[in-house]
A = this chain, B = another copy of it.
Amino acid sequence: MTKNASPSYTLAELASLLNATLIGDGERRVCGLSTLTDAGPDDIAFLANRAYAKHLATTRAAAVLLHPEYAEECPTPALLLDNPYLAYAKLSHYFDPLKRDEASVTDVHPTAVISSDVTIGEGVFVGANAVIEAGVCLADGVHIGAGSFVGADVSLGARSYLHPNVVLYHGVIVGASSVIHSGAVIGGDGFGFAHDGAQWHKIAQLGGVVIGDNVEVGSCSSIDRGALGDTVIGSDVKIDSQVQIAHNVHIGEHSALAGCVGIAGSTRVGRHCLLGGGVGLAGHLEIADGVQITGMSLVTNSISEAGVYSSGTGSMPNGLWRRNAVRFKQLDELSRRVTRLERHRD
């Protein structure tokens, strides 16, 4: 695929696409999307965060997406909407040259290795050197990137998209319109071993992985298959890069997991949860709907109420930290000393 000429749209077209109120010249044409500070005179910009409102006065943008409360301050033509960040998200796809190129790419590359009993829908793309094993079902519009491996009996829903060098082990089920980035591995064995007092015995991982619709899995993330029963990723779950999801974990719909999150076996995360980068969840926990956990927190107990949870210490200069960290090791003792002082006072 090569880059197309830049797309361009009139402000009237965009107002119509986004269902926005247009202030200014609807014939003005924009051919790029940018931030308030980086925008050139042919770009449309957006204001979605109050902290950036100060850049409105000096932006060179042709037009700005913003909330009606900023309409008066805006020195350029404006598209007014209640949720400018959402409008930016929608608009971003109109300025993605790749999107439009790929719509026409629906071939199976001659070097792809495809078993004889594979079901392939309409408009499917299979890239160079991809390997598709027996029993696989690719629904309409599926895209299999070059060098990806799709194991036996995998099912991919309509328009689901594997970037290059993804691996799906046998039997993995992916819903419609889900996206898996390169290097991700779905369905590898869960980490299950029994100890006989001297050595480990592997437990065959007999379950699978079931991924819903509109899920995104980032680069180099791994989602392990279940031991008995499946690992389940609900629809509209968004998973960033370098995430590890162990066997039999369930992630509720609409939850989002930032980079480097690790979730141990059999833990259930609710719906609409947000896990910050590097968060670790121990195994066999229940995390309620609507829980947010801040970055790099470790959670070792179930959480039954929505809310924001944290662990750890803030960072500080190393000299101060060393002194405080030593005191942490004496903290129980310190607490007892305070109790003794209180008794003495009374």
Taking beta carbons and an 8 Å cutoff, which residues of A are in contact with B?
A: 1-3, 33-35, 38, 83, 85-86, 88-90, 92-93, 95-96, 98-99, 109, 111, 113, 117, 127-129, 131, 133-135, 145-147, 149, 151-153, 163-165, 167, 169-170, 179, 181-185, 188-189, 191-196, 198-206, 214, 216, 218-222, 224, 227-229, 236, 238, 240-242, 244, 246, 254, 256, 258-260, 262, 264, 277-278, 280, 282, 293-301, 307-332, 334-335, 337-338, 341-342, 344-345
Contact = CB atoms under 8 A, between A and B. Distances in A.
Contacts of A229: 34-35, 38
Q: Which residue, of A113, A246, A308, A310, has the highest number of chain B Cβ atoms within 10 A?
A: A310
A338 B127 CA distance: 67
A328 B329 contact: no
A146 B145 CA distance: 15
Contact of A236 (B95, B149, B200, B329): B200
B188 A219 contact: yes
A9 B240 CA distance: 43
A127 B149 CA distance: 11
Contacts of A89: 192-194, 201-203
Contacts of A128: 113, 131
A262 B319 CA distance: 24
A206 B33 contact: yes
Chain copies in complex: 3
Contacts of A1: 133-134, 152, 170
Given A264-B295, A295-B280, A300-B314, A241 B224 contact: yes
A183 B190 CA distance: 15
Contacts of A246: 240-241, 259
Contact of A147 (B38, B129, B256, B307): B129
Given A146-B149, A181-B185, A314-B325, 8 more contacts: A147-B149, A183-B183, A188-B218, A189-B216, A309-B318, A312-B313, A320-B329, A334-B334
9 contacts: A86-B201, A93-B204, A109-B113, A165-B165, A182-B188, A185-B241, A240-B246, A310-B322, A314-B328
B165 A167 contact: yes
B311 A153 contact: no
A98 B187 CA distance: 14
Contacts of A256: 193, 200
B311 A316 contact: yes
B297 A315 contact: yes
A-B interface, 3 closest residue pairs, ranked by CB to CB distance from nearest: A89-B194, A311-B315, A188-B219
Contact of A335 (B214, B220, B330): B330
B298 A222 contact: no
Contact of A170 (B98, B149, B309, B321): B98
B2 A204 contact: no
B264 A280 contact: no
Q: Which residue, of A93, A241, A242, has the highest number of chain B Cβ atoms within 10 A?
A: A241
Contacts of A308: 317-319
